[in-house]
Structure 1
Amino acid sequence: MTVEPKLLEVQRVSIILIIFTVVSLKILDLNLTPPKVTKKDLQIDINTASKKQLTKVPYIGNKTADKIIGIRNSSGKIDNIYKLKEIRNFNKFKYYIKVE
């Protein structure tokens, strides 16, 4: 049984390239895993958010943002998101907001 020299050479080169790639990644220490983002990281603080930031939240449009800002201005600070429960779509946008 004979093995073709070209096939052996291709296998050798392939193994060398694989080893080189693995060693290079270890040396560069690339963080190839995406950062862990929690739901809490995506929430915005309704006490500090501007109208523009509020309108980027799903289910909050200009009118809803104005209502939130109005409640915030009249009470000074919103200490619980459930103060907004009378606002339309509250049950939909409550997952995207927080108070700190």
Structure 2
Amino acid sequence: MTLPRINIDTILATLDKAVQSRPDEFAMTTMLDGMTEQPELTMAIHEVINKYVEPLIEHDEDINAQAAASMLIELSACVYGITMKAMKAQADAEEMNEAWG
């Protein structure tokens, strides 16, 4: 099953709504909503984030801005990838269940 392609108008409307609140508020609201609407996916994302954050907290030395930025980009790509692949796998599983009972 193919996931619906999200058009630019939907993306821009979502971005417009998201920037109406502070990033920390948006992040917290999104994660809290996720715990209700998609608890397993939200916990998986939380675990991936922890895998990146824990070494930073335990590291005694400061991390330079370039390394931190690189890690944020990589983490964002991982979270995006996990979310998209999980959605595709779920859609495929539901399609197979419908076809084969």
- Tell which has more relative contact order, 1 or 2 (C-alpha 8 A, sep 6+): 2
TM-score (norm 2): 0.27
TM-score (norm 1): 0.28
Structure ranking higher in helix proportion: 2
Q: If you compute each CA radius of gyration, which structure gives the higher value, 1 or 2?
A: 1
